[in-house]
Amino acid sequence: MKKFKFRLDPLLRYRSFQEHQKKLAVAAARYEVMACEAAIENTVLLARTTSETLDSAMANGMDATRFEWFKHYLEGLSSSRGAAEARRIELMKTLTQRQLELTEKSVARKVVENLKARKKEDYYREALKTEQKVLDDMVILRSARKINE
């Protein structure tokens, strides 16, 4: 019996490649989101430790210039956190979009895989029918020879 050959194997390989590329894009987007969240956490931690340092320095007394430095630094951390949160929102939108694209590519690949599975099943079913028919014909011919002898 001949081996099954699927004519659309190149298309299946291409769609698998596209899906793999989208998986890499989703992973990269997820990494960017995680890095941005880590930056936000780091900024929050810096602001908290700076506030504690400012409180302890104010309790011991500090000059106005140093107080202004602390104040400007905390404002800078606050604006940095706001920018990072805005960037995180944009990165989440990008991640969502890339996940949708990955879903589309996965569906496209699965369609071709399902078609391949159906075609393979049909091929082997037909091959078995043909083989069974040949065997039945051989049995009939043998029976006919025995009768004629």
Phi first, then psi, for residue 120 (nearest 5°) are -65, -45
- SS3 assignment, position 7: coil
Which two structure tokens, joined as six digits, stand for 26? 């989703």
55: CB partners within 8 A, 6+ apart = none
Residues 9-61: tens digit of each pLDDT:
999 999 999 999 999 999 999 999 999 999 999 999 999 999 999 988 888 88
Give the whole-angstrom CA distance, residue 52 versus residue 55.
5
What residues does each domain of the chain span? 9-119
Give the whole-angstrom CA distance, residue 100 versus residue 29.
13
